[in-house]
Amino acid sequence: MRWRRGVTTAVVTLILLFVVRTVLYYSSDNGELQTVTIDMTQPFFAVYFGSPDATTLLPEFHQGIGTIEERLTILLEGPRLDGLAPVVPEDTQLLGFSLVDDVLYLNFSHHLVTNHPGGSSGELITVYGIVNTVIGARGVMRVQILVDGRQVPTLVGHLDLSEPLEKDYELLGGSQI
């Protein structure tokens, strides 16, 4: 009887340790694993960056509530993990944002267009890196991207930005966790 109680206690302890704190592993470009620890008892959120080959979006997890401001600040700063690529072109600034009903209007500087490297997959990764990151913040269901305060038909000619966008699950790559 004592033996069973000891085994049960050990199993419950291991389960609680797993629930309280989860260790995530990311694979870097050189094949080494990077460790990221997320405390599962506290809120956390994902910010999406590009895969090394720029074909999918991969999550980088951060501890916190994940307000619109937090998500956009991290997205504009770029990834902290090796093996993830920034999705927003260099020098791009967030000029402002507003949430109207369930649509988040994001106003970026002209650098979002003028410094964009181009290409259809590059445009998809940029747009949905932004969209997928902010959807999930409180109240945000769709995103409208503006440049210098104006609606743009597209960033570089491949993706229609005339209407608010929803999260795109097809671009999400297999998690490296």
Name residues whose C-beta falls within 8 Å of residue 126's C-beta, 6 or more positions apart in sequence. Answer: 87, 88, 89, 112, 116, 155
Q: What is the pLDDT of residues 113-143, one digit of tens each?
A: 999 999 999 999 999 999 999 999 999 999 9
pTM, rounded to two decimals: 0.81
Please say whether the beta carbons of 140 and 68 come within 8 A. Answer: yes
DSSP state of 173: P
Please give the C-alpha separations between residue 44 and each of 37, 51, 60, 128, in angstroms, as whole numbers: 11, 21, 10, 20
In percent, how much of the chain has pLDDT > 70? Answer: 77
Please say whether the beta carbons of 66 and 137 come within 8 A. Answer: yes
Q: What is the pLDDT of residues 138-155, one digit of tens each?
A: 999 999 999 999 999 999
Looking at residues 3-25, what average pLDDT do you find?
A: 49
